[in-house]
Structure 1
Amino acid sequence: MKSNYKYIFKTLMAMSIAVATTSCEDFLDREPMSTISPETYFSTAAQLEANLNDEYPNILPSFGQWGYGVFGEDKGTDNQIEVTANDRYTADRWKVPHSESDNWKFERIYRVNFFLSETLPKFGDDISGAKNTISGSIPTIKHYIGEMYFLRAYEYFKKLQLFGDFPIIETPLADDATALREASKRAPRNEVARFILADLDKAYSYMSDVDLATTRINKDLAMLVKSRVALFEGSWLKNFKGTAFVPGGEGWPGAKIYSNYQYPSGSIDNEVKYFLEQAVAAAKIVGDKYKGSLTQNTGVLQQSATDPANPYFDMFAQEDLSKVSEVLLWRQYARGLATHNINSAAGRGNYRIGLTRGLVQNFLMKDGTPVYTHGTYANGDGYYMGDKTIADVKANRDSRLSIFLKEPGQKNILFETDNNEGTEAVMVEPYPSITNGDGERGYATGYALRKGGSFNRKHYANGGGYTAAVCFRAVEALLNYMEASYMLTGTLDATAREYWTAIRQRANISTDIDKTIAATNMSMEAENDWGAYTAGAILTDKTLYNIRRERRCEFMAEGIRYMDLRRWRSMDQLVSTPSHLEGMHLWNTPMESWYLNSQGQTILVADGSNQANVSSKDKSEYLRPFERTSSQAAYNGCTWKMAHYLNPIMVKQFQLTATSGSDVSTSILYQNPFWPVVADQTAEK
């Protein structure tokens, strides 16, 4: 029956859109739903579930967020790069769109609002459901309502990250130009964040009476995401204080609407405190519950079918995560029905997206000390073995690096080795194919991850992978607490130390946190990590930096790096000092000999021409994927414009909300800082 409800709903949705389309819809990317009969489609728990199931893949993260996924948010940062620089790291390639399907989009928000507007009156006036007329279990109905509040919150959080100030819309709107224009008014970003937190509190309350499978949203997840949102906004307001990127800051474009804006808490400092306190409280609820349930990491990469498995590795490479306590939400795939290519990517060169040298060097040694305390990066002192081979760079390191960084000669497949469905399986890891221009089989930096790759050949059918996607992990709550509480008090309290110790024990590195902090040299860290900067200045606080380092290492390729870099304001220095992102140590190392033809001649071309397949040794002994040919966008390094911390709003939206024809100056909207309201133009600064 569930599939029938889903089909009927989607069919009638399409019909209603087809017959009700008007010129007003484009104001807010509106989808009229008034022709759907609420008596028919919001009357049972099963119908609510069917509606929810339609929204899950459109709103929630899955493999697309991974560093080598299509929309990965680690890809295109100082963690992972392709062979072409992202437009945001250029001065002239990111431009204001005229119209773009994913820019300023409200479709999902309207779907959620329609669901809530039809469901809540039937459920009753309060959370108890005393007047409920929807058939089914009350706790289950409440849970589904809570899930939809969560989905609205998460969709709004995506908008907050992209645009900052954003319209707050809680109900479906009439198809009226005046009403839609007024609804387009952007709310200050901190009020958007408060709205998100309120939705997450509602989600938590509604879902509090029942625990469903972790393939569904749950109350613990609501608190985890609350801690993420609150930490994001608190750190954004703190780090951008006084600028055009926060309400009331100098040049804030929102002054067009809010000329004398007052923060709900009285000041921006109080607002920072409010959000950080919210982050601490929410993170502790989840952290205390799961701190003893982190998935075990043996620290060893399995290399034989008879060897013990590493549960931490397998957490990212199995079909069913229902018994993995740390995973709060996961997406299930099914052979022949819902599949992906993450296994194939992890089994080759990550679809030509590689780890940067900066990330590799940022991982600590097992004894908790930074790499640079053990000789030079290239040679080491015998404990750190140097970086002249991939095997050396992994030795005696944080096990999160040693088990996930691929090494030539390792076995990629251990189970069902004769399964012919595994058409994309590479049985033994080869030398990284850095000269291969194939987007699926080439290697970008020489450093490739096996995170997300299964050891079973059955998962390697072309386009046919069906291992589960980890969407959210409880360990994030521990990290969110550590950072938020430290930002509030300037000290590591007992809870933060307890959480940090648990994370480092799981990573198989020394739990002597103070030793790490004392050994940290921020000038050295700044060479490898954009996160060593805030507002263009190298951090002086080594404790806060090491919390940032821990996040970077724990969540590599899991899609949150760009979010962190923006809230930390970690790209300012690129405005004046371009960054040269590098990969493995290619030149003047044994690895250079990996690239000889059968006659013993090198296949490396490093002359800067259009035929070049690697960067020149005159630039660096380390491979620089963006600096192979002089025509590449970031050939002279990655740069930045301040405007790039937020996305521009498309020009079409200004035209649609204008009160005088298409005169954009009469729109109720305002553009994000330093972006013009002219299509195909770059940011001013």
Structure 2
Amino acid sequence: MKLNFKSIYIYSIVAAAGLSMPSCNDFLDREPISSITPQQYFNSAEELGAYAINYYNSIIPSYADAYAAGPLNADRNTDNMVVGEANTTYFASNRWLVPSSGSPDFSLIRAMNYFLEQVLPKYEAGSISGTEENIRHYIGEIYFMRASVYFDRLRSYGDYPIITTVPVDETSELVELSKRSPRNEVARFILEDLDRAISMLKSGTAFNKVRIGKELAYLVKSRVALYEGTFEKYHKGTPRVPGEQGWPGADKAYNSGKSFNIDGEVSFFLTEAMNAAKEVADNHELTQNTMVMNPAINQIYGWNPYFEMFSMPTPGTLDEVILWRDFDADLSVTHGFMAYIQQGGNNGMTKSYVDAFLMENGLPIYAANSGYKGDITIDQQKEDRDGRLQLFLFGETTVLGNEDSLQYYNAPEVVGLTEHRDRTGFRQRKSFCYDFAQIRNGVRGTNGIVTARAAEAYLNYLEASYLKNGSIDATAASYWRKLRERAGIDADFTKTIAATDLSKEPDWGVYSGSQKVDPTLYNIRRERRCEFIGEGRRWDDLIRWRSFDALFSENMGPYVPEGVNFWTEMHKNTAYLKRNDAGELTNESALIEQKDGLSSANISNRNDSKYIRPYRVVKENNEVWNGYNWMKAYYLSPYSILEMTLASPDSRLETSNLYQNPYWPTVASASALE
């Protein structure tokens, strides 16, 4: 049963009609699963595969929306980029509130458990028709999916109930099952499920890499283990880590007698991360970067494989790609990346992000003799820099169109229609493609989207091994040199480390808690930041590193996002002049600078900063005017009052098995305590 994404999409429609799991908002989704009769189903490999397909879009983002930007905006709410208006829930005071109802949702966990409960006895009895290899693969997919759901819950809530059965609709059982397991136990459970998946899955190449495969399970195992190992390392000493002072789980009788060796747990998870990452990195080469930065006239492909990997029809042909999503306009399964990038998408990379990229000679831009040219123009900033910055960020002379002639980016769209605005002036170019048929005549993007690639395994090993061993071992050094060589940077990373001055790095990743990390570790973090532009890895990294603490006043303090150097020369570009009714340029500027009481302003004031400040355009009622703030509670999400009440044997919060997360109150609509 070899399926591509088109088959997956069709099966998903069929499965949604006849095989989908009912869900409700009640605790543990109490409605019984009644749409499948196990005696009549789960009897063939094809039926197992169809069930798994039904949950693909719930587990792995489909990005199948012609009017959305997908992962392009996934670095929002970090120091990498801004999207639309500022997120006041995270970065303004007292806006994230304890919900009165909803969350967490157990429906997906219940669906995975139902499959395993019905299928495993049949598999052990040999009563499922089909090849052994396929049967095992589809069971492996379900183990992978359950692990993925639990990883999502781990990141959101930390401690979480481990449920491996399909509970009946009995209050006493549901209350019992609501007991939260310490987060390290949850993480170990996830790794166990991934190990089961690894033992059963076929290679992703058997399905053209559009279906879960063994390599993906190894990669995600390294991701989970690195996440938990570093979270426990950097959050140790806070009540977010089991056994530490103030940990709320200590008050629960069901945790009595448990002891925690956090250093031992950290070592375990880092070792697991190293081993799993090495399985992928040693068997997958990085895609070549030719360092050609622009295509020729009418050239779509064949000029730079690294650029094209993120925007080609079938990226699964590349060794680096572990998983990708296929699209088909005939099935209305499309995406909107091309239009978002070509026209601007109300987003923008930050100055902090651009400044993090090294020079080609391996030196930071501030280092003596780095050769940095300055920031009067974007092109100037990109000159002789890390090839990833040159390739994946538009500059004035970056090609925007190449049909019959070359059209250039020229200038950021900083005052146009809101939906097309370049919020910071820095527009990312990853996932762009020069096949303009993808957006012409109403047809949206159908080129593939890479959702997992081997470069992550290189970086996971590099970080985990350094933290575990305190040095860069030969394997890590090899991986790091390969990443730098692909980026067009001097491969000697020791040169970069020696030239690094953490006080000059405007990067939240400099901090873990209130401590600055050492220059070697910071440069490992820098490498992740620069490699994953436009792929949405930054938020998880900042959470696990405890780097949002950088926003506390004793560290960097509140963060004001900035963009291009606009007020030195860029503002003089004719792109910022008004046009008359005939579409002709006038001599009147379209720029309206910020001024107190001026609600029609469309650009930050030049006297505030020469750099665009996207959230300092209108001051009135602007909760982030003075910058982003952060609270200790925000590293974990709060549980709702209803869910905590349902998890209590007598409906009292004081006796609930589902205790609240640190720094959050047990009052609906109340804000974080710290």
TM-score, scaled to structure 1: 0.90
Tell me the alpha carbon deviations over residues 547-569 of structure 1, each in whole angstroms, 9 at most, x when there is no partner.
00000000111011000000000
Alpha-carbon offset, residue 35 of structure 1? 4.9
Of the three residues 405, 412, 430, the one matched with 1:451 is: 430
Of the three residues 90, 98, 112, the one matched with 1:96 is: 98
The 1-side partners of 2:185 and 2:443 are apart by 42
Answer yes or no: is the 8 Å Cα contact 1:143–1:210 preserved in 2.
Answer: no
What is aligned with 1:535? 513
The 2-side partners of 1:4 and 1:485 are apart by 43
Distance 1:374 1:210, change over 3 A: closer
Are residues 1:683 and 2:672 paired?
yes
Distance 1:113 1:325, change over 3 A: same
What is aligned with 2:4? none
What is aligned with 2:534? 557
The 1-side partners of 2:155 and 2:13 are apart by 33
What is aligned with 2:111? 111
The 2-side partners of 1:625 and 1:6 are apart by 41
Answer yes or no: is the 8 Å Cα contact 1:97–1:680 preserved in 2.
Answer: yes
Matches within 5 A, 1:495-574: 495-525=475-505, 528-539=506-517, 541-574=518-551
Are residues 1:206 and 2:212 paired?
no
Distance 1:10 1:136, change over 3 A: same
The 2-side partners of 1:30 and 1:360 are apart by 49
Of the three residues 17, 26, 40, the one matched with 1:11 is: 17
The 1-side partners of 2:204 and 2:373 are apart by 52
Are residues 1:652 and 2:633 paired?
no
Are residues 1:624 and 2:616 paired?
no
Answer yes or no: is the 8 Å Cα contact 2:11–2:54 preserved in 1.
Answer: no
Farther-moved stretch of structure 1 (213-222 vs 672-681): 672-681
Helix, strand or coil at the partner of 2:316 = coil
Helix, strand or coil at the partner of 1:452 = coil
The 2-side partners of 1:317 and 1:398 are apart by 21
Are residues 1:604 and 2:606 paired?
no
Tell me the alpha carbon deviations over residues 293-322 of structure 1, each in whole angstroms, 9 at most, x when there is no partner.
211111222331358411011111012122
Helix, strand or coil at the partner of 2:206 = coil
Tell me the alpha carbon deviations over residues 14-44 of structure 1, each in whole angstroms, 9 at most, x when there is no partner.
6x849xx8xxx71123452145211322111
Question: Where does the alignment leave 5 or more consecutive residues of structure 1 unmatched?
Answer: 125-130, 376-380, 419-425
Of the three residues 188, 192, 200, the one matched with 1:194 is: 188
Distance 1:651 1:141, change over 3 A: same
Distance 1:447 1:533, change over 3 A: same
Farther-moved stretch of structure 1 (671-680 vs 428-437): 428-437
Tell me the alpha carbon deviations over residues 105-153 of structure 1, each in whole angstroms, 9 at most, x when there is no partner.
11111111111111111111xxxxxx42111111111111111111111
Matches within 5 A, 1:320-359: 320-337=314-331, 338-349=333-344, 351-359=345-353
Tell me the alpha carbon deviations over residues 53-75 of structure 1, each in whole angstroms, 9 at most, x when there is no partner.
11111111344899953794411
Distance 1:346 1:209, change over 3 A: closer
Are residues 1:384 and 2:372 paired?
yes
Alpha-carbon offset, residue 601 of structure 1? 3.2
Tell me the alpha carbon deviations over residues 439-465 of structure 1, each in whole angstroms, 9 at most, x when there is no partner.
2x1111100011111110111255721
What is aligned with 1:84? 85
The 2-side partners of 1:41 and 1:408 are apart by 59
Question: Where does the alignment leave 5 or more consecutive residues of structure 2 unmatched?
Answer: 2-6, 579-584
The 1-side partners of 2:13 and 2:569 are apart by 59
The 2-side partners of 1:653 and 1:366 are apart by 53
What is aligned with 1:243? 238
Matches within 5 A, 1:187-586: 187-207=181-201, 212-213=206-207, 214-257=209-252, 267-290=261-284, 293-304=285-296, 305-306=298-299, 308-337=302-331, 338-349=333-344, 351-373=345-367, 383-414=371-402, 428-439=408-419, 441-461=420-440, 462=442, 464-525=444-505, 528-539=506-517, 541-576=518-553, 577-586=557-566
Tell me the alpha carbon deviations over residues 264-297 of structure 1, each in whole angstroms, 9 at most, x when there is no partner.
7x5111111111111111111111111xx21111
Distance 1:537 1:210, change over 3 A: closer
Distance 1:299 1:262, change over 3 A: farther
Tell me the alpha carbon deviations over residues 625-672 of structure 1, each in whole angstroms, 9 at most, x when there is no partner.
1111112221110010010111111222123223334x3333221111
The 2-side partners of 1:43 and 1:283 are apart by 35
The 2-side partners of 1:409 and 1:478 are apart by 32
What is aligned with 1:670? 659
What is aligned with 1:150? 144
Q: Which amino acid aligns with 2:340?
A: A
Helix, strand or coil at the partner of 1:671 = coil
Helix, strand or coil at the partner of 1:26 = coil
What is aligned with 1:69? 70
Alpha-carbon offset, residue 92 of structure 1? 2.0
Tell me the alpha carbon deviations over residues 167-210 of structure 1, each in whole angstroms, 9 at most, x when there is no partner.
11112111111111111111111110000000000000011588
The 2-side partners of 1:289 and 1:632 are apart by 51
Are residues 1:637 and 2:639 paired?
no
Q: Which amino acid aligns with 1:617?
A: R
**RMSD value, Cα:** 2.5
The 1-side partners of 2:663 and 2:115 are apart by 37
Distance 1:682 1:74, change over 3 A: same
Tell me the alpha carbon deviations over residues 530-587 of structure 1, each in whole angstroms, 9 at most, x when there is no partner.
0111102222x11111000000000111011000000000011313221111111111
Helix, strand or coil at the partner of 1:601 = strand
Answer yes or no: is the 8 Å Cα contact 1:414–1:456 preserved in 2.
Answer: no
The 1-side partners of 2:417 and 2:647 are apart by 45
Tell me the alpha carbon deviations over residues 589-631 of structure 1, each in whole angstroms, 9 at most, x when there is no partner.
2344442333433322221432111112232111111111112
